[in-house]
Amino acid sequence: MVTVQYRKEYSSALGREMEYKVYGNRGKPMLVFPTSLGRFYQYEDSGMIQELSPWIDAGKLQVWACDSIDEETFFSLHWNVEDRINRHEQYNAYIINELIPHILWESQHNNNGHEQKILISGCSMGAYYSGNFFFRHPHFFDTLLAQSGVYSVQHFFGDHRHGASYYNSPLDYLPGLYDEHLLNQYRNSRIILCCGQGAWEDEMRYETDRLHQILQQKHIPARVEFWGHDVDHDWHWWRKQLRYYMSSLM
């Protein structure tokens, strides 16, 4: 039986309370993001926690399902591009400066002082988030599992690539990255990118392939797989993929 903790904490970066759930008491920390406009409980409601329950119950994995503020950022109907991306940067500060330090501290405390880096993951919009956080802040992570994601801001901001927009668009900033310290952190991590070739996966397949090409050019090992033409952009397949890849990661 998976133990579940609901938490609600004030974020100084966002000036509001943020909610999240924690599944399990110890094991490797895994941070997961919801899909577009999704909430912190979506991962559980969509059956993903059930797929991870063997590792959670065995004390090998502790999952942190965070909330999004997509309605204020990438999917806002009221704010202009600059305000939306600046609000996302505040969300970035919340994840990096508030939530992740909490995850790492609790993980070390619950695992007999053993320090562990984070496995970061998500589906669809969650894959974008997990990929972008992984590539922007690799010192926190050693594993990326991104399912059916896009990896640029083209779909949200069009051709706008000024300031923070650029630094939140991996397909734009990674080609110009030559810092060997950062590149070696990627090279020493486990990277898995996957998507289907069925309904609603065209954009994801295109951008996953582009990201794969960039990683190859940078000599960054990655497991990149395109599932069959019957594999749609849907939880049914994401659950199958999660079970399949986590069996090799854990």
Residue pLDDT, tens place only, 215-241: 999 999 999 999 999 999 999 999 999
The per-residue pLDDT for 162 is: 78
Q: What is the pLDDT of residue 112?
A: 79
Q: Tens digit of pLDDT for each residue in 79-113?
A: 888 999 999 999 999 999 999 999 999 988 888 78
User: CA angle, 98 as apex, 66 and 215 as ends, to 5°?
Assistant: 70
What is the band of 13 on the pLDDT scale with cuts at 50, 70, 90?
very high
pTM: 0.96
* SS3 assignment, position 23: strand
pLDDT in tens, 159-196: 777 788 999 999 999 999 999 999 999 999 999 999 99
Q: Which residues pair with 146 in a beta bridge?
A: 122, 193
Predicted local distance difference test score (pLDDT) of residue 52: 98
The residues, ordered by sequence, that sit 6+ positions from 43 with a Cβ below 8 Å of its Cβ are: 32, 34, 49, 63, 65
Q: Which CATH superfamily is domain 4-249 in?
A: Alpha/Beta hydrolase fold, catalytic domain (3.40.50.1820)
Instruction: Name the β-bridge partners of 8.
Output: 19
| Residue 36 token pair | 């577009």
